[in-house]
Amino acid sequence: MFVYLASQSPRRRELLEQIGVSYETLLVDVEEKKQCDESPADYVRRLSQEKATAGAKIKNDQPVLGADTVVVLNEQVLEKPTSEQDAINMLLSLSGNTHQVMTAVTIMLGQRSETQVNVTSVRFRAISEKEARDYWQTGEPKDKAGAYGIQGKAAVFVEEIQGSYSSVVGLPLFETAELLTIFDLEP
């Protein structure tokens, strides 16, 4: 089984490998900007679809997988941090709170596309500003929604998770496998 992955994320590549999916990555350019009237779920769904569509324009009539992940706290989307202070502010806002991680995955083949969205709740323990600063210094949060990676050092901040661990990492494997089955691309 083979798909084109419209993402450069090493985490998504690792997750596809975990379930035995062969892939080739595509470099796609999609602006990640939430529209003012867009819900977080609609936003992540749209980005996933736009990435798959951009990939399909490169690889006509080939299966393309697009995905996007956002962190949501009180209906506010926390994107990738733009600076150290931005990351620290995000981490401190997550401290002692439960937030949602939404990951959408889309497969497009020809004119047909299917999308699924996974929503997982994650609760952080209380973290100090020093812990947030120290975590920034590891380099991990720089390219991650919500300024953390659950698969890395931030795992010690996670008190509880309800839902899909792989979705929080960046690709919900259950939903991905379902979509692969729908397109007869079973893992």
- Least confident range from 50-54, 84-88, 108-112, 183-187: namely 183-187
143 is an active site residue: no
Active-site residue, from 42, 61, 68, 134:
68
Q: What is the pTM of this model?
A: 0.94
Exposed (0-12), middle (13-18) or buried (19+): which is 76, by Cβ within 10 Å? exposed
Q: Is 4 helix (H, G, I), strand (E, B) or coil?
A: strand
* Residue 12 resides in a domain: yes
* Per-residue confidence (pLDDT) for residue 171, from 0 to 100: 98
Structural domain including 50 reads: 2-182
Domain count of the fold of the chain: 1
What band does 44 get if pLDDT is binned at 50, 70 and 90? very high
Instruction: Return d(Cα 169, Cα 148) in angstroms, integer.
Output: 10
Q: What is the DSSP letter of 74?
A: T
* Per-residue confidence (pLDDT) for residue 187, from 0 to 100: 59
Instruction: Give the CATH number for residue 10.
Output: 3.90.950.10
* Residue 129 resides in a domain: yes
* Residue 168 resides in a domain: yes
* Residue 156 resides in a domain: yes
Instruction: Return d(Cα 25, Cα 6) in angstroms, integer.
Output: 6
* Residue 23 resides in a domain: yes
* Residue 102 resides in a domain: yes
Determine the average pLDDT of the residues in 8-25.
95
Give the residue among 76, 66, 168, 160 at the shortest CA–CA distance from 118: 168
* Residue 187 resides in a domain: no
* Residue 151 resides in a domain: yes
